[in-house]
Each structure stands twice: as C-alpha cells, then as structure tokens.
C-alpha cells in the first residue's frame, strides 16, 4: 500500500517538474482562438436587450481549406487567403487613422 | 401673428425635436435600439426645390445665406456618406459580438438620422437666425461623429485582426503537424521549430493588441460639450489606434514566420528527395 502511494507521489512530483521546466507546454495547443476572446467582450451598451445570438460562438474555420489538410497545395491556398486579409487590414487601419485625422469643414456662420 | 406663421413655427419645432432625439439617444450609449427609427426624415424628391428663400434685408445677405446652406448641406452629405460606408463595414464584422455590432450600427444610424433631419431643416430654414443656429449645430454634432467613426473603424480593424489571427492559428497547427512529421523522419527542424514558436508569440501579442483596442474604444461616450471628456476620448482613440498598429506589425511578423516555415519545409523535402535519389543510384 505504501509503495502505491509513494508511486503516486513520485508521478505527481515528476509531472509538476515537467510542467515547471516547460516540457508539458509543448503539447498545449497553440493560443486560444481569438474569436472566443473577442466575442466575450462586454459591449458599450449595457442596457440593450440581449438576443440568443449573443451567446458564445463556436470556432469557425476562416481558411479556404480543411483544417486537417496540411498539404503543400492547401498551405499555398491558405497563405494566399491570409494575404488578402492582410491587405484588407492595411485598408482598415488606414481608414481608422483617417477617421482620427478628420476635421470638420468650417461653416459660414 | 397669422395662422401661417403659427404653422411654420410648429413645423420647425417638430423638425428640430426630431433632429435632437437621435443625438440624445446616442448620449445614452445607444440604449434604445429602435427608438429613432421614426426620426429619419425622408428628403422628398427634388429636395433642393424645398430650399426656401431666406427672409433678409438685402441681396448680399440672401446670397450669403444660400452659400451657407450649400456648404452646410455638402458637409452633412459628406458625413452621411462616411457613416453609410461604416454601416456596411460593421455588417461584415464576424469576430465581435452581435450585441456590439448592433450598438455600433445603432449609434451610427442615429447619427445618420440626426444629420438627415438637420439637412432637411437647414434646407427649409427661412429665418436667418435659425439658419445660423442650425449651421452651428453641424460643428457641435461633429463631436459625436468624431467619436462614432473612429470607434467603428478601430473595431473593424480589430475584427479583421481577429480573423487573420484565427487563420494563422489554423495554419500554425498544420505547420506543426508538418514539422513533427519531418522531425520524425530524421530531419533537422530546429530552425523551423524556432520560427513556429515565434509565430505563436506574435499571434498571442497580436491578439492582446486587438483585444486592447476594442476594450479601449467601446466604453467611450460622447463628451456632451465637456472639453476634458473630449480630450480624454481623443487620447483613448489614439491609444486604441496605436494598439491596432502594434497588432498589425505582429501579424506581418507572424506571416513572415509562416513563409519561412513553408520555405523550410520545402527545402527539407528537396533535401530528402535528393538524398533518396543519391542513395538509389
């Protein structure tokens, strides 16, 4: 019985040591999906009615290929789709900057 | 005072009230989603013909008033066009909550309604003093416009960043599988693993910046003429835009990591192929 508990303790300590040294983090899947984090944000309007569609979303595949397709062709298509979005981000960012720089036209009166 | 004068004043008061309602609604952070649906004043066909002659004592003043009207209408039209464009952009957002999208849309639509009503009122103004007040209100209303636009634009950019992060995360998972397979085949994947680790770091950072941008802009409310609040809003909007730029830089770096890994995998494949070929000869 003592051996059993001793083994459990050794395994726990070994697991903790592995975690502490960062070995186990190698098996942790990437980073949390941004959609889940973005969608969890409170809104500016706290009084508006909440609709059922405001519930937490499911993960969405934004790539043009299947998530389990790691072929060269799929990666090339994925990369091209990402580049399109990157280009659109440049436009979005520029629009945001322009909206900050916008000034009212002086009126006559 | 004639019946005609009473009628004119009643109409002017009604239109003025309709112009104010959306602005006040926005001041309450878009609390009433549909309240202002009726506030949109439709410009009749041939709206220019509605433009009444301003009662003035001289031709010079009439010309000046007409010029002021034209300039005012032009400025209002410019803002309405920008606001309509942002409504379309808000509809395309996919990573922020539906509630947040609704609020942004409502606030933007309220501004469109308010400006439309103001435009109709200015075009119908016949009294010089009223016209002056209405024209001045364009500048006053600008402070709401100056908040709504960057608020929506920054959120749109953050939403786009979230989409790209999502895509790069999925690609990162695919690349991880490819690296592991190459490593299992005996290839030296040290450089690829380093690039992959950097990819994860950059995506994590980009995600934080996107979230920070949204968190910064969402609680902002119109300054209601308070210069301190106005300055604070401006500072926060600039900070949020700074977050967008930092996140964008992270994504550019992450995209380079992906390119480097794909290229590296290609080289590994070429090496393996060359080695196999040499061994079979």
B12 lies in the same domain as B142: yes
Note whether B188 and B105 are same-domain residues.
Answer: no
What residue numbers bound the domain in which A22 lies? 1-27
Q: Dump pLDDT digits (tens) for B179-231.
A: 999 999 999 999 999 999 999 999 999 999 999 999 999 889 888 778 899 89
Beta carbons of B153 and A29 less than 8 Å apart: no
Cβ atoms of B205 and B250 within 8 Å: the answer is yes
Query: Which of B98, B117, B148 is the endpoint of a domain?
Result: B148
> Which ranges in chain A belong to alpha helices (H)?
2-21, 34-38, 72-101
Q: Are residues B170 and B131 in the same domain?
A: no
Residue A61, phi then psi, degrees to nearest 5 = -85, 110
Tell me, yes or no, whether B191 lies in a domain: yes
Which stretch of A55-59, A86-90, B187-191 has the lowest confidence by average pLDDT?
A: A55-59
Report if residue B176 sits inside a domain: yes
**Three-state DSSP state, B189:** coil
Q: Which residue of B has its CA nearest to A90?
A: B248
Q: Is residue B39 part of a domain?
A: no
Q: CA of A63: which chain B residue's CA is closest?
A: B167
CB contact under 8 A, A67 and B163: no
* Sign of torsion over alpha carbons B148, B154, B155, B157: positive
Looking at residue B62, its pLDDT comes to 81
In a domain? residue B78: yes
How many other CB atoms sit within 10 Å of the CB of residue B234?
Answer: 16
What pLDDT band is residue A17 in, cutting at 50, 70 and 90? low
**pLDDT for B17 beyond 70:** no
Q: Mean of the per-residue pLDDT values for chain A?
A: 68
- C-alpha closest to that of B242 among B158, B142, B144: B158
Domain-embedded: residue B226: yes
Select from B161, B153, B145, B149 the least CA-distant residue to B223. B145
Report helix, strand or coil for B224: coil
> Do both B7 and B141 map to the same domain?
yes
> For B35, which DSSP code?
G
Asked if residue B259 is part of any domain, the answer here is yes
Q: Give the integer Cα–Cα distance in Å for A98 and B2.
A: 50
Name the residue range of residue B10's domain.
Answer: 3-34+58-148
* Domain tally, chain B: 2
User: What is residue B248's predicted lDDT score, i.e. its pLDDT?
Assistant: 97
Checking if the pLDDT of A59 tops 70, the result is no
Q: Does B259 touch chain A (CB under 8 A)?
A: yes
- CB contact at 8 A, B265 and B255: no
Average pLDDT estimate for B108-112: 91
For the segment B140-188, what is each residue's pLDDT rounded down to a tens digit? 777 788 899 999 999 999 999 999 999 999 999 999 999 999 999 999 9
Whether residue B14 is found in the same domain as residue B141: yes
Q: Name the closest residue on chain B to residue A81, using Cα atoms.
A: B167
Q: How many domains does chain A have?
A: 2
- Asked whether residue A74 is assigned to any structural domain, the reply reads yes
pTM of the model: 0.69
Residue B1's CB: how many other CB atoms inside 10 A?
A: 6
In a domain? residue A34: no
Three-state DSSP state, B196: helix
What is the rounded average pLDDT for all residues in chain B?
A: 79
- B142 and B266 housed in the same domain: no
Task: Identify the pLDDT of residue A63.
Answer: 96
B221 and B120 share a domain?
no
Last residue of one domain, picked from the residues B148, B180, B205? B148
Shortest Cα–Cα distance, A17 to chain B (Å): 22
Of the candidates A74, A86, A104, the beta carbon closest to that of B139 is on A104
For residue B92, pLDDT over 50 is answered with: yes
The count of CB pairs under 8 A between chains A and B is 206
- B113 lies in the same domain as B231: no
Considering the domain architecture, whether residues B144 and B164 belong to the same structural domain is answered as no
E strands in A24-73: none
Q: What is the pLDDT of residue B269?
A: 73
Please determine, for the modelled complex, whether the ipTM score is greater than 0.90. no
């Amino acid at each position: 019985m003592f051996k059993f508990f001793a083994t459990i303790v050794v395994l726990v300590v070994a697991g903790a040591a592995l975690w502490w040294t960062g070995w186990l983090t190698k098996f942790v899947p990437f980073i949390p999906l941004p959609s889940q984090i973005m969608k969890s944000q409170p809104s500016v309007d706290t009084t508006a009615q909440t609709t059922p569609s405001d519930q937490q979303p499911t993960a969405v595949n934004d790539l043009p290929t299947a998530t389990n397709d790691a072929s060269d062709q799929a990666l090339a298509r994925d990369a091209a789709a990402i580049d399109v979005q990157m280009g659109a981000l440049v436009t979005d960012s520029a629009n945001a900057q322009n909206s900050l720089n916008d000034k009212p036209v002086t009126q006559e009166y | 005072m004639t019946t005609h004068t009473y009628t004119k004043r009643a109409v002017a008061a009604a239109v003025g009230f309709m112009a104010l309602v959306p602005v006040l609604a926005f001041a309450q952070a878009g609390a009433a989603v549909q309240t202002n649906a009726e506030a949109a004043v439709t410009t009749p066909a041939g709206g220019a013909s509605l433009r009444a002659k301003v009662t003035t004592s001289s031709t010079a003043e009439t010309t000046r008033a007409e010029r002021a009207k034209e300039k005012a209408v032009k400025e209002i039209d410019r803002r309405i066009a920008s606001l309509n464009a942002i409504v379309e952009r808000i509809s395309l957002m996919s990573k922020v909550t539906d509630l947040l999208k609704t609020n942004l849309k409502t606030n933007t639509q309220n501004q469109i309604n308010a400006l439309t009503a103001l435009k109709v009122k200015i075009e119908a103004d016949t009294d010089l003093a009223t016209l002056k007040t209405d024209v001045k209100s364009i500048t006053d209303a600008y402070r709401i416009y100056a908040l709504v636009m960057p608020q929506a634009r920054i959120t749109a950019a953050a939403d786009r960043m979230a989409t790209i992060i999502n895509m790069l995360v999925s690609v990162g998972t695919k690349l991880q599988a490819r690296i592991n397979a190459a490593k299992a085949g005996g290839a030296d994947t040290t450089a690829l693993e380093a690039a992959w680790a950097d990819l994860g770091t950059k995506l994590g950072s980009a995600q934080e910046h996107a979230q920070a941008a949204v968190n910064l802009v969402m609680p902002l409310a119109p300054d209601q003429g308070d210069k301190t609040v106005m300055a604070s809003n401006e500072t926060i909007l600039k900070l949020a835009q700074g977050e967008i730029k930092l996140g964008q830089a992270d994504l550019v770096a992450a995209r380079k990591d992906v390119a480097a890994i794909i290229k590296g995998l290609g080289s590994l494949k070429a090496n393996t192929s060359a080695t196999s070929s040499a061994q079979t000869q």
